[in-house]
Chain A
């Protein structure tokens, strides 16, 4: 990156019935306080959230994130892509201090999963291609091909649920590792130019359609595509955060990275808080895990990686490499 970008502050709120707009403002204020900045110091705001989850237009609600009077970029569908956009604003010299704010009222999706509205209305929705069914279809193929084993998948799912403090159970007959842990949430991250803080070492992204073709069903392939041109400092790696709508998506996606570093999927350094099993509030959830990875590195000189799998089947993929600067 031409200009060093660092994470200077972050804050999050998770709950089951949050007043999300208030939570966003609280997170913004807390992240700014952690960064020792005022809102007036912010040059640009990047917002992230799903309009379907929020019940409102993310762009027009951006005032709750302090966006009025500033440059605004709205990246609705992916926290990782929103973070990448924010880092690019600094890297390119357009801004020195950027606020990334994301939110989602996910709890309503526990009652009725509305993600299927993103599927094609003629060719996908009528045949029942909702997010859970699509994820199950992917998992079936990966298991049939031997890319995943049922034993390893169950082990990963149980480990994530334990770390998230959940009793192992499905819902309505759904396998636990297919089930998003819907919650309401908000997260704010302050990025700034300079070397003081946790540095953003590199960013990679990739994006697939809602209905991938047979040769492109594996989230590990999406992560590999995102990482294709990244420089990863694997030595000194101490934290990995992977966040997806379902545990099977996270588990599948981690394989590319784990193959490089040689860690087992249930290593304590991976998803210390349980990944998406701890809470999922839609596309902005990835910001929370980027922030968590950064906090794990704060004060030290080790490196970390955050993988965000946004979208109904995790198909908006981002890989964020972070580096503690001591």
Chain B
């Protein structure tokens, strides 16, 4: 019978001449795609839109080749979960990562919740309001959510 065995090996001494440090920097170019480009352009116009396809409204949009139509979303939303800022880092943050279902959508999206301190008082299902930056750039960071009444 052969048994599985753990073998502790002595460290192999390797001289400096036999090792190489390799530092690789590789820039990548990403494309938002057909639907993503429309979605991000709408953010510049302070509009949050979803892609309705197959009976579901998806946000951000995912292009699987099926036909669909754009629908306006918000301004209300439902909090699903958030990452408490004080669990991750000691530094104070003015916002925290959140998973939010925007009114009119069937999928949740990752976004920021402000202020971070308010999150601790919120439970899943809390109502949120959509807010846009003064000068949107066409990025997912152009908008965030705040507690209703906050």
Contact = CB atoms under 8 A, between A and B. Distances in A.
Contacts of B6: 10-12, 291, 295
Interface in A205-228: 211, 213-214, 217
B99 A137 contact: yes
Interface residues of B, number: 46
B88 A178 contact: yes
A136 B83 contact: yes
A152 interface: no
Determine chain B's interface SS by DSSP, over half rule: loop
Contacts of A136: 83-84, 87-88, 97
Nearest to A172: B89
Given A19-B12, A26-B9, A122-B30, A197 B87 contact: no
A138 interface: yes
A124 B12 CA distance: 42
Question: Can you list the 4 inter-chain pairs with the closest CB atoms, starting with the nearest?
Answer: A173-B90, A141-B81, A30-B7, A136-B83
A197 B141 CA distance: 55
B80 A174 contact: no
12 contacts: A11-B6, A27-B9, A30-B9, A31-B7, A122-B40, A127-B111, A136-B83, A136-B87, A137-B98, A174-B88, A174-B89, A214-B80
Contact of B108 (A133, A196, A214, A294): A214
Given A10-B6, A35-B2, A174-B88, 11 more contacts: A7-B4, A55-B22, A136-B87, A137-B97, A141-B80, A144-B123, A173-B90, A174-B89, A197-B3, A294-B4, A299-B3
B148 interface: no
Contact of B4 (A23, A34, A214): A34
A136 B96 CA distance: 11
A144 B98 CA distance: 14
A245 to B, nearest CB: 14
A297 to B, nearest CB: 9
Nearest to B111: A127
Contacts of B99: 137, 141, 211, 214, 217
B5 A9 contact: yes
Interface of A: 7-13, 15, 19, 22-23, 26-27, 30-31, 33-36, 55-56, 120-124, 126-129, 132-134, 136-141, 144-145, 172-175, 178, 189, 196-198, 211, 213-214, 217, 291, 294-295, 298-299, 326
Interface in B75-134: 80-84, 86-91, 97-99, 101, 107-112, 123-124
Contact of B83 (A126, A137, A291): A137
Contacts of A144: 81, 123-124
Contacts of B80: 141, 214
Contacts of A291: 4, 6
A295 B16 CA distance: 36
B17 interface: no
A108 B36 CA distance: 33
Given A122-B32, A137-B99, A214-B81, A19 B14 contact: yes
Nearest to A299: B3
B42 interface: no
Nearest to B19: A19
Given A122-B30, A141-B124, A197 B89 contact: no
Contact of A140 (B22, B30, B83): B83
Contacts of A23: 9
B142 to A, nearest CB: 10
A174 B87 contact: yes
B86 to A, nearest CB: 7
A299 B139 CA distance: 59
Contacts of A11: 5-7, 9
Contacts of B30: 121-122
B5 A34 contact: yes
